[in-house]
């Protein structure tokens, strides 16, 4: 079991077609050609001495390269992902233009065991999704956040 924790912000907006959420497609070579299970709440890991809310706002800025929006934060609780990581999220109503993101980057050895490193974006794109479509593409455990947001928005 992992002791890793992540915190994130799930932006949402009301449209003529219903509730939409902003999801981030994970960057790097492992997710480049994947859709289902490759989208996530913009989030990142934090240490136990950092409050989760502060980590969520910091990670939003690091992942997307834009300031986290102000507004009422709706606690969505925690989920445990298949890899053991515990993710805590809040929903904030805001409208963000996906073209405004300037994602942070990470470095990893690629290809594996090649001795070469490459830099990849933390997320390679973001998009607004209706809840039904979001459930199809989001990391499986994080679908609970969508359900909790929907309950709050009824």
pLDDT digits (tens, 9 = 90+) for 22-71: 999 999 998 989 999 999 999 999 999 999 999 999 999 999 999 999 99
What is the reported pTM?
0.93
Cβ neighbours around 131 below 10 Å, total: 18
For 38, 63, 89, 146, the CA distances from 101, given in Å and listed in that order, are: 18, 9, 20, 22
**Which of helix, strand or coil describes residue 82?**
coil
pLDDT digits (tens, 9 = 90+) for 125-135: 999 999 999 99
SS (H, E, C) 136-149: HHECHHHHHHHHHH
């Amino acid at each position: 079991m992992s002791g890793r924790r992540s915190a994130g912000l799930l932006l949402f907006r009301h449209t003529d077609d219903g509730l939409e959420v902003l999801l981030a497609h994970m960057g790097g070579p492992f997710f480049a050609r994947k859709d289902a299970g490759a989208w996530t709440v913009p989030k990142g890991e934090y240490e136990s001495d950092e409050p989760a809310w502060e980590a969520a706002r910091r990670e939003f800025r690091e992942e997307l390269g834009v300031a986290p929006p102000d507004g009422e934060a709706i606690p969505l609780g925690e989920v445990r992902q298949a890899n053991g990581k515990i993710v805590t999220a809040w929903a904030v109503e805001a409208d963000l233009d996906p073209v405004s993101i300037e994602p942070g980057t990470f470095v990893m050895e690629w290809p594996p065991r090649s001795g070469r490193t490459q830099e990849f974006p933390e997320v390679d794109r973001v998009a607004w999704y209706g809840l039904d479509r979001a459930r199809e593409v989001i990391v499986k455990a994080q679908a609970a956040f969508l359900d909790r947001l929907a309950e709050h928005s009824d």
